[in-house]
Amino acid sequence: MFPKVVQVMPMKDYSVYVYFEDGKIVCYDMSKMLEKEEFHPLRDIDVFMDTCTVMNDTLAWDIYRNRDCTMCLDIDPDTLYEFPFVNGQIA
């Protein structure tokens, strides 16, 4: 069973608080991810903030704003759970 994300909260410094179903809460620094070509649309802070959501049970950005879970930018939930870009872990 993979860890499910239940809530996300983007911040203006390109970090995201991610709340997992098991109670783990982590603040990830996503600024390093913006260097990857597929994440370039998120360099626009308004896109980063406005499209950040939970899709496919993980952190995602609905960049086309159509709620199509096959067209979003998302991070594999297992990868996200062990993601190295941690600003801090709350729980």
For the stretch 25-57, pLDDT in tens is 999 999 988 999 999 999 999 999 999 999 999
Segments forming the whole domain that contains residue 75: 5-89
Look up the CATH number of the domain holding residue 57.
3.30.2020
Q: DSSP secondary-structure letter at 50?
A: H
N- to C-terminal Cα separation, the chain:
20
Q: What is the pTM of this model?
A: 0.89
What is the Cβ-side half-sphere exposure of residue 80, based on CA atoms within 13 angstroms?
28
Nearest by Cα to 77 from 13, 31, 21, 16: 21
The beta strand positions in 4-90, using DSSP E, are 5-10, 15-20, 25-29, 52-55, 58-61, 73-74, 86-89
Averaged pLDDT of the chain:
91
Confidence of residue 83 (pLDDT cuts 50, 70, 90): confident
| Structural domains counted in the chain | 1
